[in-house]
């Protein structure tokens, strides 16, 4: 995990904790304001809603506690307790659904007529209206931050505040309609109950899916694929699996690399992991598994002397026998003899030959141990080419030689696959 990822965690934790503390105090203030206003005009519904807001205070405390403890990692919980946020989100979604049923139930209750002046009712309605506007703007901002940091706890708290605003809105409607002698607040309430239920069930569904380790969304997977595809030696992305844990993601990626060296493959996989941490700061842990490319058809190069033996002096080989060979069927598909056009060079002859063969797409070079630690040797190693080292330079039977190469290379590949 890089420094950018660590900084993201610190920043998001700071911002989210501030908002959750603010939500707790806002719900506490709402409880007091509703109760005082309800007592003043004798509105039982407003006083009952004050009791509901007191439960919202408890809800905010629970979400804050879950978020606070979710960062803890231990030997028993090496990936942290991030799912506490999903559990808290599920709890809040149930409270939202309960709020909807509570509002629906209140529609069938008989309410005592309000015995207070019209002016007092208008003042209370105006105060509540401004509260609704301010709380709506706050819940919208909280949801925006929650979405930005992928925090289900923050999003659920924002949705809970919004559901609470609907109940206040119904009370405002009932006050205003009662002034004019109308009684249509029940119809408004039914629409609002449906909206709250939809919000609550949607939140409950998302939280439950996260607890069941649903895979990350397709858009994120495609974005991850695009980042990985930018690496030169990545031949194929076999799979990307992930799960949400709170607002963080845990990823497991399998790629096929066009690299023969274990050290180079490990280095590249580490680079891929670092790139993902940089581009997706809400990734808490990513593991990249790498596999070799399973080539069935390869190009085999045999450097030869003028007597068509295997050359022990690679740079001064007279020609190169290049064979397209099917490893699985052990069959020659194509064979061509290419002259050494670099014989007249005085400097870096072997390196130029090696670069030429790399450009031709050669996969395996048949050679003697004399090539080790030479310029051509390092060129081939850099481009992840394989060597088949022989002791006998005489080619008695080309088919048998190619079968020996096939047995060594193909058996190794299928063994890695299984």
pLDDT tens digits for range 136-154: 898 889 888 888 877 777 7
Q: Are residues 156 and 241 located together in one domain of the fold?
A: no
Phi first, then psi, for residue 213 (nearest 5°) are: 60, 45
Distance of alpha carbon 304 from alpha carbon 309, whole angstroms: 5
Q: Give the confidence band of 324 by pLDDT, cuts at 50, 70, 90.
A: very high
Q: What is the pLDDT of residues 39-85, one digit of tens each?
A: 887 766 676 677 667 767 777 777 777 777 777 777 787 777 878 87
Contact (Cβ atoms closer than 8 angstroms) between residue 303 and residue 312: no
Domain CATH number, residue 74: 1.20.1510.10
Nearest to 111 by CA among 189, 36, 56: 189
Q: Are residues 140 and 277 located together in one domain of the fold?
A: no
SS3 239: strand
Distance of alpha carbon 50 from alpha carbon 200, whole angstroms: 21
Domain with 275 in it: 218-292
Torsion sign, CA atoms 390, 396, 400, 406? positive
The pairs formed by 178-183 with CB atoms below 8 angstroms and a separation of 24 or more are 178/113, 178/114, 178/121, 179/118, 179/121, 179/122
Domain CATH number, residue 224: 3.30.70.1350
Number of residues assigned to the chain: 418
Distance of alpha carbon 368 from alpha carbon 388, whole angstroms: 8
Please spell the DSSP secondary structure of 340-378, one letter per residue: -TTTT-SSSHHHHHHHHHHHTT--EEEE-GGGTTSHHHH
Domain boundary residue, one of 269, 292, 315: 292
Q: Are residues 137 and 190 located together in one domain of the fold?
A: yes
Q: Are residues 180 and 252 located together in one domain of the fold?
A: no
Q: Are residues 112 and 58 located together in one domain of the fold?
A: yes
Q: Are residues 265 and 302 located together in one domain of the fold?
A: no
Count of beta carbons in the 10 Å neighbourhood of residue 40 = 13
Q: Are residues 138 and 273 located together in one domain of the fold?
A: no
Which burial class, exposed, middle or buried, applies to 229 when counting CB atoms under 10 A from its CB (0-12, 13-18, 19+)? exposed
Q: Are residues 61 and 190 located together in one domain of the fold?
A: yes
State the chain's mean pLDDT as an integer.
Answer: 80
Average pLDDT of the residues in 296-316: 89
Domain boundary residue, one of 292, 320, 343: 292
CA distances from 301 to 285, 360, 397, 398 (A): 43, 10, 16, 12
Is the per-residue pLDDT at 412 higher than 50?
Answer: no
* Residues in Cβ contact with 110 at an 8 Å cutoff, skipping those fewer than 6 apart: none
SS3 203: helix
Maximum C-alpha span of the chain = 117
Q: Are residues 111 and 78 located together in one domain of the fold?
A: yes
Count of beta carbons in the 10 Å neighbourhood of residue 207 = 26
* Count of the separate structural domains present in the chain: 3
Q: Are residues 184 and 97 located together in one domain of the fold?
A: yes
Domain boundary residue, one of 211, 238, 266: 211
Nearest to 416 by CA among 246, 260, 185: 260
Q: Give the confidence band of 415 by pLDDT, cuts at 50, 70, 90.
A: very low
β-bridge pairing 364-367 and 283-292? unpaired
Model confidence, pTM: 0.54
Q: Are residues 224 and 130 located together in one domain of the fold?
A: no
Q: Are residues 152 and 184 located together in one domain of the fold?
A: yes
Q: Give the confidence band of 38 by pLDDT, cuts at 50, 70, 90.
A: confident
């Amino acid at each position: 995990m890089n420094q950018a990822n660590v900084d993201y965690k610190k920043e998001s934790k700071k911002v989210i904790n501030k908002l959750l503390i603010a939500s707790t105090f806002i719900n506490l203030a709402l409880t007091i304001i509703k109760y005082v206003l309800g007592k003043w005009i004798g509105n039982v519904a407003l006083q009952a809603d004050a009791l509901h807001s007191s439960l919202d205070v408890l809800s905010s405390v629970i979400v804050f506690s879950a978020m606070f403890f979710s960062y803890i990692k231990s030997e028993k919980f090496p990936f942290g307790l991030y799912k506490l946020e999903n559990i808290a989100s599920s709890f809040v979604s149930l409270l939202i659904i309960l709020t909807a049923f509570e509002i629906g139930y209140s529609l069938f209750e008989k309410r005592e007529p309000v015995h207070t002046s019209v002016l007092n009712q208008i003042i209370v309605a105006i105060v509540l209206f401004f509260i609704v506007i301010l709380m709506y703007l706050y819940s919208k901002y909280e949801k925006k931050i929650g979405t930005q940091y992928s925090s289900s706890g923050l999003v659920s708290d924002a949705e809970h505040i919004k559901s609470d605003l609907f109940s206040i809105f119904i009370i405002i409607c009932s006050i205003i309609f009662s002034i004019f002698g109308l009684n249509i607040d029940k119809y408004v309430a039914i629409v609002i109950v449906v909206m709250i239920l939809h919000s609550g069930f949607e939140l409950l569904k998302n939280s439950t899916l996260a607890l069941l380790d649903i895979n990350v969304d397709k858009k994120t997977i495609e974005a991850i694929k695009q980042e990985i595809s930018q690496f030169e030696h990545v031949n194929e992305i076999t799979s990307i699996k992930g799960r949400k844990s709170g607002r963080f993601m845990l990823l497991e990626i399998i790629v096929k690399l066009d690299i023969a060296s274990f050290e180079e493959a490990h280095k590249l996989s580490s680079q891929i992991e670092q790139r993902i941490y940089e581009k997706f700061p809400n990734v808490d842990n990513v593991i990249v598994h790498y596999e070799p490319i399973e080539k069935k058809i390869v190009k085999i190069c045999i450097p030869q002397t003028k007597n068509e033996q295997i050359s022990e002096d690679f740079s001064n080989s007279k020609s190169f026998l290049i064979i397209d060979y099917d490893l699985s069927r052990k069959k020659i598909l194509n064979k061509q003899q290419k002259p050494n056009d670099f014989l007249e060079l005085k400097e870096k002859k072997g390196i130029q030959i090696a670069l030429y063969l790399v450009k031709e797409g050669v996969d395996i070079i048949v050679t003697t141990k004399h090539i080790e630690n030479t310029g051509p040797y390092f060129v081939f190693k850099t481009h992840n080419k394989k060597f088949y080292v022989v002791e006998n330079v005489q080619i008695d039977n080309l088919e048998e030689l190619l079968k020996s190469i096939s047995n060594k290379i193909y058996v190794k590949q299928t063994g890695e696959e299984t």
